[in-house]
Structure 1
């Protein structure tokens, strides 16, 4: 039999229809691996994180936004001469992050409220406007009012300091004193980490958050946290006790990224009014902070707020509320004493 005849009698296994079916199967597999599988893993991972870290405090609705908070000492006898303290956490965190070290650091009877910023922890986001520290400040002020707090000392760490500064500008009657911890409050040159920019981009950011942000974040989290503490050591139980993995949930990842990506432009507007702040103020900064620029933010607040006090902690990094909680407590005591003098003189 001729070779040509044998081919006609035994059709090739790689005929045109077979090739098309193989290509379709291949592209289906690629689509599943690239899109469906990461999405499914993200949903599963998010549900697991939320099951591992349920809410630890109470919820209060403020201007249509449900805020999660922990009120320490709210129903106990107050320490003599004390004022309520409200603590606002920074980026990539939640209320348990400052509560980790400050929850039991204050005097017995001292009322301290820790709040999840909008879109973080178990607080609702409340729309895209909540990326602005001014909007977050209004919500925190509303929470204070609903908790019956008429005057308080506000403590803000890092990005939370921008919220506290905005609150002092917009709600001065509520502010008895301010403590800024490693603040990020002023515009700075340059940008932010690439993943914040990507996540803050419409459409692309959502795809990024629902695909690779959770597994990539899991892989990078410990190293990133250690770099925030540097040159000081990160406590071994820090990641678990503070529930930091919650920031890897797509909704919170996007909220956090947009807070950070738009911070410089937002504080450009608000920082022009910092000179209006009259409340007693202490600014804490580490001389080895590599996360924010103390020369821009801490010195900027010291310049802008008349009568403020700047405390530079030698050898300290960015996580001062964890590594130097007593310094934060001492600063709060100082502004409470100063506020009492101001109230007595008025």
Structure 2
């Protein structure tokens, strides 16, 4: 009897691992690399580099995606609006999308910030406006602290930045456990993620309208590959202690800064993070948009582009744009995707949660 059970268990484990591997290869065929691979010192980052054209009116711009994401997310949001106006660099952060992980330092935001700065060096970008969405905002802040000469301006979009009540949810710690975590990511991440990914995407956009083609455009399913899922879990598991350490230093940032957040962000609290970040960075501008959730890059794209223009020296009334957008959202009834019943506000997941978490 015991032998039979062990054989059945072994067969089930082998089957789930094979399923995860086959599904990972299928997802990779659906969402292949769309940029180039750049060696940044012993490992490669995947990035889409769009050179400036004649008549470009904006400085170089570097885009940093959130947790569980990849560069396709920001390419989909901003490329069409900005192509021809600026040199652009869309980055798969270390271990995400098609980028290699590199060393253990890349499990922390400051390590990833150094990797992005080196990527800029390799592409000949002396200085750039850094746009960070959600977890990407922590990377942007670290760049401003550690490599201020590389940063001409900071645009934070629905960023995570400060310690929050409750800490990191248990499943991130479980996924990073030495043995159990590795096994769990191979056995559970793919089947559970495929079941939940559409609902998770809707949660991230809530309360705003969910673009029906978002998953296809963003390639979010790349996060379900077991190795990427585990790297992402390390990122998030290390985030809390990192912001405890680094958030008191935000007052050192002298780079021109704009912070855009929705007041209905169910993922990252606008009060705990964006408002506190604005208070810490002297001279920063905080733009809060009523009725917008965690995706101002998609729901308030024109305002985000205007913020980039303002950081480049163009006079823009972002508050007036925010009020006009609020009226448009209300009249178009685009705030019709309420958070799921039983969810607390805000959720403590980042770009693309596949499991429920505690508040960030």
Q: TM-score range by the shorter chain?
A: 0.7 to 0.9
Q: 1 CA distance for matches of 2:254 and 2:64?
A: 20
The reply to whether residue 319 of structure 1 matches residue 304 of structure 2 is no
The reply to whether residue 45 of structure 1 matches residue 23 of structure 2 is yes
Q: 2 CA distance for matches of 1:142 and 1:76?
A: 23
Partner residue in 2 for 1:277:
253
Q: 2 CA distance for matches of 1:161 and 1:207?
A: 31
CA contact (8 A) 1:181 1:285 kept: yes
Partner residue in 2 for 1:141:
117
CA-CA distance at 1:231 after TM superposition: 0.3
Partner residue in 2 for 1:287:
263
Partner residue in 1 for 2:70:
94
Q: How many residues align?
A: 315
The equivalences for 1:171-250 within 5 A come to: 171-250=147-226
Q: 2 CA distance for matches of 1:75 and 1:315?
A: 35
CA-CA distance at 1:135 after TM superposition: 0.3
The reply to whether residue 128 of structure 1 matches residue 107 of structure 2 is no
The match for 2:89 among 97, 113, 119 is: 113
CA contact (8 A) 2:69 2:223 kept: yes
CA contact (8 A) 1:83 1:153 kept: yes
Partner residue in 2 for 1:29:
8
Cα displacement string for residues 146-203 of structure 1 (whole angstroms, at most 9, x for unaligned residues): 1111111000000000000000000011111000000001111212333222112221
CA contact (8 A) 1:280 1:338 kept: no
CA contact (8 A) 1:71 1:113 kept: yes
Partner residue in 1 for 2:337:
none
CA-CA distance at 1:128 after TM superposition: 2.7
Change (3 A) 1:79 1:248: same
Partner residue in 2 for 1:343:
none
Partner residue in 1 for 2:237:
261
TM-score calculated relative to the size of structure 1: 0.88
Q: Which has the greater radius of gyration?
A: 1
SS of aligned partner of 1:278: coil
CA contact (8 A) 1:89 1:160 kept: yes
CA-CA distance at 1:76 after TM superposition: 2.5
The reply to whether residue 163 of structure 1 matches residue 142 of structure 2 is no
CA contact (8 A) 2:132 2:138 kept: yes
Partner residue in 2 for 1:307:
283
Change (3 A) 1:190 1:171: same
CA-CA distance at 1:129 after TM superposition: 2.0
SS of aligned partner of 1:105: helix
Change (3 A) 1:78 1:256: farther
Partner residue in 1 for 2:56:
79
Which has the higher mean CA deviation after the structures are superposed, 147-156 or 63-72?
63-72
CA contact (8 A) 2:52 2:84 kept: no
CA-CA distance at 1:107 after TM superposition: 5.7
Cα displacement string for residues 79-136 of structure 1 (whole angstroms, at most 9, x for unaligned residues): 13x2100000001100001111111112623211110000000000113321110000
Q: 2 CA distance for matches of 1:75 and 1:87?
A: 15
Q: 1 CA distance for matches of 2:279 and 2:17?
A: 48
CA contact (8 A) 1:288 1:316 kept: yes
CA contact (8 A) 1:285 1:312 kept: yes
